[in-house]
Copies of this chain bind each other. A is one copy, B any other.
């Protein structure tokens, strides 16, 4: 597209932050190149439902170039950014089917998100996959459903019990959602369909190092969440630090020092929901620019969300370690989707202000609260509003969660289909997406 300024904005990543930034530049006099490794924007808050066979993958994903078909200043490219040259203002793009390309930029928004982190124990990954992409969700769906299948075969009672033991590591929102839904599948979806095992006898363990689940929530909501998890049949194990994960078991320790004890539980299916780390592009930027990163690899950005000293490079979303000042208090911005969206809008606004010769504005995080779902009729909500703080849990929190997610989901068809699938699952306990693409045996 012809622009008057001729300025070229490159956005790396089309998660919540990158998507919002590109949309906010709709009427800006710039050309935008929007790069993602996937061909779709993913509505990550519902990814656990794809993993647990409640939704099909396309229901929570929207093709990026379809989203921007009418925004003429956006060129979408599929590819992997493998290097950022902050001084020369170029990125290196690797794409399937074509040669590597050097893409120059005038402004760069780095929004490449986060991946899971095993805190230095990467050898656990094959036994305990995490949940960040559709491919992760498909892998978990396969492991969960195939464990029940294998149990139906297995003549050895000890092995059968290990196949029917599912461990979720990490009591944050993803861990709580996964554990709650897996318990629902075992207790409500599968019974009656097996002839040799009773799926309801499956154990779902939620292993958390700290002393409560959902630590980002107020303690009273953690207590509510714990009660709701136990009601759904999840065995919540607090104060357990995982020390080993293998194909057949998980090992964890309780207590400290001399009082510390080690336990091993035979378990064939493990879900990793314990740690996240920023995209490796964060550390790369740090090497190139001398900026700081925190332990999770997040870039310490300045008040305008820039890499310090690089006023044309923004880092937003889960890759940014940002602070926001609220009523004189400096607070760390949490790694949640509303924050990523707000950062995307702030970076876009600052690009426009820069082009117009205006000074950049500081990022201010508007906190609307926090919500997490646990399972059927079970959720906790911590709502910040001008009228005050509202905290509630149970059925109404669950309804609130449900409609909030439908509202934020992109695309009319997806909203409709997700609502339909949820209504049907609620009425029948069936989960329509219990379809594993890979097969047993040869392929």
Q: Is A278 an interface residue (CB 8 A)?
A: no
The answer to whether A432 and B58 touch across the interface, beta carbons within 8 angstroms, is: yes
Q: Is A406 an interface residue (CB 8 A)?
A: no
Q: Is A251 an interface residue (CB 8 A)?
A: no
In this complex, what residue of B is CB-closest to A134? B437
Q: Is A433 an interface residue (CB 8 A)?
A: yes
In this complex, what residue of B is CB-closest to A33? B195
Q: How many residues of A are counted as interface, with CB atoms below 8 angstroms from the partner's CB atoms?
A: 74
Q: Given the known A-B contacts A39-B434, A56-B56, A413-B432, are A98 and B441 also in contact in the complex, defined by CB atoms under 8 Å?
A: no
The answer to whether B69 and A193 touch across the interface, beta carbons within 8 angstroms, is: yes
Q: Given the known A-B contacts A58-B435, A413-B424, are A80 and B441 also in contact in the complex, defined by CB atoms under 8 Å?
A: yes
Q: Mark A420-438, 1 if CB is under 8 A from B, else 0.
A: 1100100000101111111
Q: Is A95 an interface residue (CB 8 A)?
A: yes
Q: Is A231 an interface residue (CB 8 A)?
A: no
Q: Given the known A-B contacts A152-B77, A153-B79, A442-B80, are A97 and B37 also in contact in the complex, defined by CB atoms under 8 Å?
A: no
Q: Given the known A-B contacts A66-B193, A193-B65, are A79 and B440 also in contact in the complex, defined by CB atoms under 8 Å?
A: yes
Q: Mark A159-202, 1 if CB is under 8 A from B, else 0.
A: 10001000000000000000000000000000011111000000
Please give the count of copies of this chain that the complex contains. Answer: 2
In this complex, what residue of B is CB-closest to A439? B37
Q: Is A223 an interface residue (CB 8 A)?
A: no
The answer to whether B56 and A59 touch across the interface, beta carbons within 8 angstroms, is: yes
Q: Mark A59-88, 1 if CB is under 8 A from B, else 0.
A: 101010110111010111111101000000
CA distance A42 to B420 in the complex (A): 22
Q: Which of A142-150, A323-331, A378-386 contacts B (4 or more CB under 8 A)?
A: A142-150
Q: Is A270 an interface residue (CB 8 A)?
A: no
Question: Which B residues are in CB contact (< 8 Å) with A430?
Answer: 66
Question: Which B residues are in CB contact (< 8 Å) with A69?
Answer: 192-193
The answer to whether B432 and A153 touch across the interface, beta carbons within 8 angstroms, is: no
The answer to whether A196 and B75 touch across the interface, beta carbons within 8 angstroms, is: yes
Contact of A96 among B40, B98, B146 (CB under 8 A): B146
The answer to whether B98 and A195 touch across the interface, beta carbons within 8 angstroms, is: no
Question: Which B residues are in CB contact (< 8 Å) with A29?
Answer: none
Q: Given the known A-B contacts A56-B58, A58-B432, A435-B61, are A98 and B153 also in contact in the complex, defined by CB atoms under 8 Å?
A: yes
Question: Which B residues are in CB contact (< 8 Å) with A211?
Answer: none
Q: Is A222 an interface residue (CB 8 A)?
A: no
Taking beta carbons and an 8 Å cutoff, which residues of A are in contact with B? 1, 37-40, 56-59, 61, 63, 65-66, 68-70, 72, 74-80, 82, 93-98, 101, 133-135, 138, 145-147, 149-150, 152-155, 159, 163, 192-196, 268, 411, 413-414, 416-417, 420-421, 424, 430, 432-443
Q: Which 4 A-B pairs have the closest CB atoms?
A: A80-B441, A97-B150, A78-B149, A56-B56
Q: Known pairs A58-B434, A93-B153, A95-B150. 7 more at Cβ < 8 A?
A: A37-B442, A39-B436, A79-B440, A80-B439, A97-B149, A134-B435, A411-B432
